[in-house]
């Protein structure tokens, strides 16, 4: 009885298997390239976060230092002299009572200090879009809160002039707390100092770990 014998064409089979091997190799190469590209993109993303975190932290510390300088308890003689010289040309200043003029001179020192730190304020302002994009709303808000304290100090410098007769003791105390870093008396809080500390702590909590590429 004749059997059904299949003759295997080993040459053709070998060619086919070789083809499978080629396809498999191509897939492996493609997969490896895709993974390498993905890893490269992730590395670049982390490096970008690191770069922005460093920029935000640097701007934050400069802003904190600027606020410390502005709110320094001591108004130096050369600052007061410069403020007086500047105000001598102001007709409205010349019409004020001597007690109010003294307050205006002190307030002018704060205005000058704020103006002198404008570059530090601007550096932090420029970080706001990047802070939100890469680290979220929390960091943007913290940076905005820190910047807001410059405005708070200026407003209180204005109030310091208006309070020249000191009729409202509580108002006077709140102004002095805003304008200086002096510790508040028991039962009171230095609102500006606390806002600064909270904002800086929030930014540090998020940005410091981002400085280490392997921590994200």
Mean pLDDT across the chain: 83
Per-residue model confidence (pLDDT) at position 84: 95
Range of the domain at 167: 42-215
Structural domain contains residue 92: yes
In Å, what is the CA distance from 116 to each residue of 7, 120, 146, 184?
94, 9, 17, 27
Give the CB-side neighbour count of residue 196, counting CA atoms within 13 A: 23
The per-residue pLDDT for range 104-158, each reduced to its tens digit, is 999 999 999 999 999 999 999 999 998 988 899 999 999 999 999 999 999 999 9
The per-residue pLDDT for range 80-98, each reduced to its tens digit, is 999 999 999 899 999 999 9
Structural domain contains residue 101: yes
Mean pLDDT of 12-19: 54
SS3 47: helix
Per-residue model confidence (pLDDT) at position 210: 87
Structural domain contains residue 32: no
Q: How many distinct structural domains can be found in the chain?
A: 1
Structural domain contains residue 21: no
- Whether the pLDDT of residue 183 is over 90: the answer is no
Structural domain contains residue 18: no
Q: Is there a contact between 158 and 107 (Cβ–Cβ < 8 Å)?
A: yes
Structural domain contains residue 34: no
Higher pLDDT, 24 or 179: 179
CA 96 – CA 98 distance, rounded (Å): 6
Structural domain contains residue 146: yes
pLDDT band at 14 (very low <50, low <70, confident <90, very high): low
Residue with tokens 């550096």: 123
């Amino acid at each position: 009885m004749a059997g059904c014998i299949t003759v295997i064409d080993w040459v053709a089979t070998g060619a086919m298997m070789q083809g499978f091997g080629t396809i498999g190799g191509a897939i492996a190469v493609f997969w490896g390239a895709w993974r390498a590209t993905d890893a490269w993109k992730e590395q670049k993303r982390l490096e970008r976060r690191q770069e922005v975190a460093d920029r935000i932290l640097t701007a934050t510390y400069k802003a904190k230092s600027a606020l410390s300088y502005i709110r320094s308890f001591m108004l130096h003689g050369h600052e007061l002299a410069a403020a007086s010289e500047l105000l001598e040309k102001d007709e409205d200043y010349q019409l004020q009572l001597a007690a109010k003029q003294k307050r205006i001179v002190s307030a002018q020192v704060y205005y000058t200090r704020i103006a002198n730190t404008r570059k530090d304020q601007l550096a932090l302002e420029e970080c706001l879009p990047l802070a939100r994009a890469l680290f979220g709303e929390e960091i943007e808000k913290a940076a905005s809160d820190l910047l807001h304290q410059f405005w708070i100090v200026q407003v209180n410098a204005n109030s310091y002039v208006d309070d020249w007769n000191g009729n409202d003791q509580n108002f006077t105390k709140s102004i002095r707390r805003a304008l200086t870093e002096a510790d508040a008396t028991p039962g009171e809080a230095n609102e500006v100092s606390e806002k600064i500390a909270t904002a800086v702590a929030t930014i540090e909590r998020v940005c410091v770990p981002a400085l280490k590429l392997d921590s994200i």
